[in-house]
């Protein structure tokens, strides 16, 4: 009676949806484990049977070989058939094992190219680093060509190339080093060529010598750039004919060379000497003496404009002449010019003598007045 009351008082609780699903999942899992265990048991049993068959076949083959050894009356064909069958089975088993082995996965070409793109630059950087750390990286053989008035060492010094500079740096900055060479006043242009592995050639073009600034016995080259070199030339190295200049004002010399650059070679080749001869009206008046002793007066500022007329005047001159281009253009013979200069000189001397005599007379009169 008491038990029935307890049952009535404790009725079964209903399961929730989650609990029901959990029970179904556990039930399915248990069934799957049972099925899996059964399959494993079957595979194990099959392996045992296969092993037993192999053992039986091995025993049979060994017993048959013993029988064949003991009974030579059997035909050779019967002896050969069974080994052939066994070999066939062994080959089949080997093929099965090969098939069962998983094939090695192939590397995609994309990964290969990625590896190459990383490895190759890395190797090159490593080799470059090793090269830069060795003395080989600074070996340079430098040759200078085209210089006649400058020393090769002076050109190398102007370039700024040091023995410690990397060969690779010189190769990459050839234009920069070539531009530096032009700091030498003799060099008009420069170029650096490279020959593998460490050979460099500096090819230079020097300014021409337009004339010589002469003071005393020293002759200083005047370059076609208008610069006067600071070192005098050995007199033995002077050419047979050359133009001489007797003034060294930097601005005037540059203006002279610029003006002469527009004059024809026929006229320039006849010029022997150029000197300043300023007058009251023209401060930059030049006196040009030609090889045939003709003399020309022409303003420096009008040199390129007026001097070309000399080629037209020259055929009309019968004797050495004086051509005045200061204001207009007229010519006279040197003899007449010398006579005129002598007359002017005598007249000037007479005027000075007269002036001196007058000054002495005035001084004497002044002295007499003081005595009185």
- Residue with the bigger pLDDT between 93 and 150: it is 150
Q: How far is CA 282 from CA 71, 84, 217, 303, in A?
A: 148, 131, 29, 13
> How many Å apart are CA 219 and CA 209, to the nearest integer?
12
- Residue with the bigger pLDDT between 23 and 73: it is 23
The CATH-assigned architecture of domain 136-206 is Roll (3.10)
Give pLDDT, residue 7: 44
pLDDT at 28 over 80: yes
Give pLDDT, residue 2: 45
> How many Å apart are CA 367 and CA 372, to the nearest integer?
9
The chain-wide mean pLDDT, for the chain, equals: 82
Q: Are 195 and 137 in contact (CB under 8 A)?
A: no
Domain with CATH 3.10.20.310 in the chain: 136-206
Secondary structure (DSSP) of 322-336:
EEE-SSS-EEEEHHH
> How many Å apart are CA 246 and CA 230, to the nearest integer?
15
Give pLDDT, residue 305: 93
pLDDT bracket for residue 21 (50, 70, 90): confident
pLDDT bracket for residue 128 (50, 70, 90): confident
Cα-trace Rg, the chain: 59
Could you report the per-residue pLDDT of 182-228, keeping only the tens digit for each?
Answer: 999 999 999 999 999 899 999 999 999 999 999 999 999 999 999 99
Per DSSP, the three-state class of 206 is strand
pLDDT at 334 over 60: yes
> How many Å apart are CA 247 and CA 217, to the nearest integer?
14
Could you report the per-residue pLDDT of 267-293, keeping only the tens digit for each?
Answer: 999 999 999 999 988 999 999 999 989
pLDDT bracket for residue 78 (50, 70, 90): very low
Give pLDDT, residue 91: 63
- Percent of the chain at pLDDT > 70 equals 83
Give pLDDT, residue 16: 77
Max mean pLDDT range (66-75, 111-120, 145-154): 145-154
Fold of 209-337: Rossmann fold (3.40.50)
């Amino acid at each position: 009676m008491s038990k029935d009351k307890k049952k009535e008082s404790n009725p079964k609780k209903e399961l929730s949806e989650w609990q029901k699903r959990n029970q179904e999942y556990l039930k399915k899992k248990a069934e799957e484990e049972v099925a899996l265990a059964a399959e494993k048991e079957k595979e194990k049993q099959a392996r045992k049977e296969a092993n037993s068959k192999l053992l039986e076949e091995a025993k049979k083959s060994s017993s048959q070989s013993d029988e064949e050894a003991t009974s030579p009356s059997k035909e050779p064909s019967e002896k050969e058939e069974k080994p052939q069958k066994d070999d066939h089975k062994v080959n089949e088993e080997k093929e099965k094992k090969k098939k069962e082995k998983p094939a090695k996965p192939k590397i995609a070409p994309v990964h290969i190219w990625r590896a190459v793109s990383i490895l190759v630059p890395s190797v090159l950087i490593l080799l470059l680093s090793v090269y830069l750390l060795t003395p080989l990286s600074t070996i340079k053989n430098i040759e200078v060509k085209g210089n006649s008035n400058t020393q090769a060492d002076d050109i190398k010094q102007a370039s700024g190339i040091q023995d410690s500079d990397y060969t690779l740096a010189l190769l990459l900055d050839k234009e920069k080093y070539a531009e530096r060479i032009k700091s030498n006043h003799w060099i008009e242009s420069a170029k650096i060529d490279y020959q593998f592995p460490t050979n460099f050639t500096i090819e230079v073009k020097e300014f021409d010598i337009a004339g010589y600034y002469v003071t005393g016995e020293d002759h200083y080259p005047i370059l076609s750039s208008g610069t006067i070199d600071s070192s005098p030339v050995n007199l033995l190295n002077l050419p047979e004919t050359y133009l001489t200049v007797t003034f060294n004002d930097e601005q005037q010399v540059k203006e002279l060379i610029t003006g002469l650059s527009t004059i024809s070679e026929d006229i320039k080749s006849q010029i022997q000497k150029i000197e300043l001869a300023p007058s009251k009206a023209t401060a930059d008046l030049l006196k040009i003496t030609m090889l045939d002793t003709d003399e020309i007066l022409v303003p420096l500022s009008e040199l390129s404009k007026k001097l070309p007329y000399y080629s037209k005047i020259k055929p009309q001159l019968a004797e050495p002449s004086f051509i005045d281009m200061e204001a207009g253009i007229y010519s006279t013979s040197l003899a007449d010019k010398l006579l005129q200069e002598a007359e002017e000189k005598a007249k000037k001397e007479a005027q000075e003598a007269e002036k001196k005599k007058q000054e002495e007379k005035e001084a004497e009169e002044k002295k007499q007045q003081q005595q009185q």
